[in-house]
Amino acid sequence: MEKTTHRAPLRQTLTRLTDPESPVAAQYRSRFALWDARASVRVKPPRLLTPAEPGRLYFPPELMPVVAHPLVRSRPYEVTERVLTQRLHQYLYFTTELEQVAVMPVTMDISRGRSGLDLPAAMREDAFKITTDEAWHAQFSDDLSRQVQARTGFDACLPDRPAFIDRLDRIRAGMDHDLRGAADLAFSVVSETLISSILSDLPRDKRLPEAVRELVQDHAEDEGKHHAYFRSLLEFFWHALDAPARRRMGALVPELITAFLEPDYLAIALTLGDAGFSAEEAEEILTDSHPADATRAAIGRAAQATTRYFTEVGALDTPSTHEAFASAGLLTTN
């Protein structure tokens, strides 16, 4: 079967693990034994906005710094509500694109035995389940966005594609040709092990519509199992790289983390324009609301678990990798 050019070199990048009884293989413990009874795609109903739900707040203002800016606060509160509604659309769009573009291609390759890794049978079986989960997450995110547009009466204002896709493409284009095939695997590990404040905070926010809270909770419960899976996958992936490949890939991991976690400035600017702000005002709001030091610190906090996992597999034992993590602000815990 034909493969895309940028993923074909993966098998040449990896030192295949041929022993299914290896110590790494022995460490895998599936979290999917009760998947049929617990996965949201199997047991949770569609999350529907109901006419009886009060309020027009669709996203917590505490998680969107621009709404605290004086220029935004000086406008009628309806402007803040519109900006926050667009932020929900951005999150749902990001989720749909992430699942379909970055995660599902990897889990489909794993399930078909085409990842370039020799994995235990249980990991291949679980990859089918993750693929199903992620397809459902993409579908229910798109569906909720359509519901919100119908309820509010205005369209989602979104870029052609989320910023992380262009960032990942730029990173991949700058990689050595023989390493490009590993980029998708590495990015999926990064994206699935980062801790999202949205997944943890939104389900508890009673100001939001119940359908929004329940959908994010459904997603969070599934992602807890995915997080554990990709933590295990990192061990197989990292041990399958030879020493030169580890050194080169390790130095790129902080870039992958930043690609995922850095705010989507274009999406925010479009949201501000949709709310009636001029390009100059939007630039001022963005600059003031997302100072570089604060953004860097927020990325470091969200990436603590991912950084720990790469440390545990020995990635940071390589000086160049350690330096790359330190330079990106990923080794501070405050």
Q: What is the pLDDT of residues 321-332, one digit of tens each?
A: 999 999 999 998
Residue 51 lies in a domain: no
Instruction: Enter the pTM of the model.
Output: 0.92
**What CATH number does residue 115 fall under?**
1.10.620.20
Looking at the chain, the whole-number percentage of residues with pLDDT higher than 70 is 91
- The label of the residue with tokens 């034909």 reads 2
Domain residues for 255?
Answer: 74-327
Strand ranges (E), the chain: none
Give the mean pLDDT of 18-38: 76
Residue 191 lies in a domain: yes
Residue 290 lies in a domain: yes
Q: Based on C-alpha coordinates, what's the Rg of the chain?
A: 21
pLDDT at 196: 87
With beta carbons less than 8 A apart as the criterion, state whether 89 and 157 touch.
yes
Q: How confident is the model at residue 6 (pLDDT cuts 50, 70, 90)?
A: very low
What is the number of residues in the chain?
334
Looking at the chain, the whole-number percentage of residues with pLDDT higher than 90 is 87
More confident: 181 or 77: 77
With beta carbons less than 8 A apart as the criterion, state whether 269 and 286 touch.
yes
pLDDT at 252: 97
Mean pLDDT of the chain: 92
With beta carbons less than 8 A apart as the criterion, state whether 205 and 213 touch.
yes
| Residue 149 token pair | 């547009």
Domain count for the chain? 1
pLDDT at 17 over 50: no
Residue 59 lies in a domain: no
Of the candidates 260, 73, 71, which has an alpha carbon nearest to the alpha carbon of residue 167? Answer: 260
- The label of the residue with tokens 């160049």 reads 320
Residue 14 lies in a domain: no
pLDDT at 188: 97
Residue 38 lies in a domain: no
Residue 16 lies in a domain: no
Give the mean pLDDT of 263-269: 98
Exposure of 209 by Cβ count < 10 A (0-12 exposed, 13-18 middle, 19+ buried)?
A: buried
Q: Rounded distance, CA 334 to CA 332, Å?
A: 6
CA angle 132, 133, 134 (to 5 degrees): 95
End-to-end CA distance of the chain: 48
Q: Rounded distance, CA 193 to CA 19, Å?
A: 26
pLDDT at 52: 75
pLDDT at 271 over 80: yes
Residue 39 lies in a domain: no
| pLDDT tens per residue across span 168-181 | 999 999 999 999 88
